[in-house]
Amino acid sequence: MKNVAIIIDQLDGVRLVWSLLKNPSTEVQSSAAWALCPCIENAKDAREMVLFLIGGLELIVHLLKSTVNRASFGEYGAVGPLVRYLESKDTSVLMSTAMALYQLSKEPSNIITMHEEGVVQQLIHLTGSDDSKLQEFAAGCLRNIRLLSLANQRAACSNENP
């Protein structure tokens, strides 16, 4: 599969497949996303590749609007690597990442992964940003994390005191 991904990259196939993420068919979008995974995974400069492609992370964020997609991102291990984009100095990368994490934080299993990746401190830092939208996404994600934590605490207390 690695050799195929390299050939696709050399023929500018990544850009063509990436454009299929805009297709109105969810089946085409899903297939395109799966086809892109090995290409990006085996790219020498995956971060630059994703940022260079038109629409970049915004297309991925759009796919997160479906509950099936939120869960799938987590099931296939995409949440952890996404958290690492919060280390970027590029404001547009931070914005897209915070937006994506906010959508992903609507799925409880993704919150667990985010917490394990140390997202809380990074999000707290982003709530102090000069960009109000970035603040909103970071705060919304933190809110979802906190709500899950409170729900788990309530469940633990009710199990202790039947």
pLDDT at 114: 95
C-alpha 143/C-alpha 43 separation (Å) is 35
Average pLDDT over residues 150-162: 80
The pLDDT value recorded for residue 88 is: 87
Q: How far is the C-alpha of 29 from the C-alpha of 63, rounded, in Å?
A: 8
Q: Which of 112, 1, 3, 100 is nearest to 50 (CA)?
A: 100
With respect to CATH, is domain 55-160 assigned 1.20.1740.10? no
Q: What is the pLDDT of residue 21?
A: 77
Q: Is the pLDDT of residue 66 over 70?
A: no
pLDDT value at residue 152? 83
Q: Over the stretch 96-118, which tens digit does the pLDDT of each residue have?
A: 889 889 989 999 999 999 999 99
Q: What pLDDT score does 124 carry?
A: 97
108 vs 98: CA distance, rounded Å: 17
What is the rounded CA–CA span in Å between residue 46 and residue 113? 22
Side chain identity at 10, as an amino acid letter?
Q
Tokens 């050799």 belong to residue: 3
Residues 6+ apart with CB under 8 A from 80: 113, 116, 117
Q: What is the pLDDT of residue 46?
A: 61
Compare 140 and 57 and report the one with higher pLDDT.
140
Lowest mean pLDDT segment, chosen from 46-50, 93-97, 116-120: 46-50
Question: DSSP E strands: which ranges in the chain?
Answer: none
**What is the rounded CA–CA span in Å between residue 99 and residue 91?**
12
- Is the separation of the CB atoms in 127 and 138 below 8 Å? yes
Question: What tokens were used for 42?
Answer: 């085996």
Give how far Cα 123 sits from Cα of 94, 130, 146, Å: 10, 14, 12
- Percent above pLDDT 90 for the chain: 30
Tell me which of 127 and 58 has the higher pLDDT.
Answer: 127
pLDDT tier at 23 (50, 70, 90 boundaries)?
A: confident
